[in-house]
């Protein structure tokens, strides 16, 4: 579902951006530099950077979850092995 929403938003941003080809002045804060560029670049470049930043944050969260899952699986295997060794009949 998330990919569908992302694709719809990406298409809407692209259609809006490409429908506005006129040049605009962009003030690059904090240095005060001014760049003249087509409006579609002023829209798509920040949108792409925001998308990449979100992807990095999401992948970092996924990495932590996968690491925690691996730790829990290891602990589960150790507990299962301990229980299996307790269940074995002892020789007299």
Q: Which residues contact 23 (CB under 8 A, 6 or more apart)?
A: 36, 37, 38, 39
Tell me the mean pLDDT in the region 25-33: 88
pLDDT in tens, 9-20: 889 988 887 888
Determine the average pLDDT of the residues in 39-61: 88
Q: Determine, yes or no, domain membership for 19.
A: yes
Domain assignment present for 92:
no
Q: What is the residue whose two structure tokens read 């699986």? A: 73
Global pTM reads 0.57
What span, in angstroms and rounded, lies between the C-alpha atoms of 36 and 15? 21
Residue 80 lies in a domain: yes
Q: Identify the three-state secondary structure at position 64.
A: helix
The domain of 49 spans: 2-87
In a domain? residue 83 = yes
Question: Is the residue at 57 inside a domain?
Answer: yes
Could you give the 3-state DSSP secondary structure of residue 52?
helix
How many domains would you assign to the chain? 1
Indicate whether 90 pLDDT > 80. Answer: no
Is residue 82, in this structure, part of any structural domain at all? Answer: yes
Question: What's the half-sphere exposure (Cβ side, CA atoms, 13 Å) at 79?
Answer: 6
Any idea what DSSP says for residue 89?
P
Report the percentage of the chain scoring pLDDT > 90: 40
Question: Is the model's pLDDT at 91 over the cut of 70?
Answer: no
Q: Does 64 reside within a domain?
A: yes
């Amino acid at each position: 579902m998330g990919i569908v929403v992302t694709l719809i938003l990406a298409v809407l941003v692209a259609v809006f951006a490409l429908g506005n080809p006129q040049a605009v002045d962009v003030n690059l804060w904090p240095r005060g530099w001014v760049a003249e560029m087509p409006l579609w670049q002023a829209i798509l470049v920040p949108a792409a950077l925001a998308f990449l930043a979100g992807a990095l944050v999401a992948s970092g969260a996924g990495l932590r979850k996968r690491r925690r899952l691996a730790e829990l699986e290891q602990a589960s295997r150790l507990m299962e092995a301990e229980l299996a060794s307790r269940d074995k009949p002892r020789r007299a």
